A and B are shown apart, each in its own frame.
Chain A
Amino acid sequence: GQQLNQSPQSMFIQEGEDVSMNCTSSSIFNTWLWYKQDPGEGPVLLIALYKAGELTSNGRLTAQFGITRKDSFLNISASIPSDVGIYFCAGETGANSKLTFGKGITLSVRP
Chain B
Amino acid sequence: DGGITQSPKYLFRKEGQNVTLSCEQNLNHDAMYWYRQDPGQGLRLIYYSQIVNDFQKGDIAEGYSVSREKKESFPLTVTSAQKNPTAFYLCASRRTGGNNQPQHFGDGTRLSIL
- Give min CB distance, B26 to chain A, whole Å: 16
**Residue among A1, A9, A103 with most chain B CB within 10 A:** A103
> Which candidate, A14-22, A63-71, A72-80, A91-99, is the interface stretch facing chain B?
A91-99
Residues on the A chain within 8 Å of B40, using CB? 9, 103-104
Given A42-B90, A42-B108, A48-B102; A4-B42 close (CB under 8 Å): yes
- Give min CB distance, A8 to chain B, whole Å: 12
Q: A95 and B99: CB pair below 8 A? A: yes
Q: B42 and A88: CB pair below 8 A? A: yes
B43 CB–A CB distance under 8 Å: yes
Residues on the B chain within 8 Å of A35, using CB? 105
CA–CA, A45 to B59, complex, Å? 22
List B residues 25-51 near A (Cβ within 8 Å): 31, 40-45, 48, 50
Q: Chain B: interface residue count, which band?
A: 20 to 34
CA–CA, A4 to B41, complex, Å? 12
Q: B107 and A41: CB pair below 8 A? A: yes
B residues sitting closer than 8 Å to A (CB atoms) are 4, 6, 31, 40-45, 48, 50, 58-59, 90, 92, 94, 96-108, 110
A residues sitting closer than 8 Å to B (CB atoms) are 1, 4, 9, 31, 33, 35, 40-45, 48, 50, 88, 90, 95-96, 98-99, 101-104
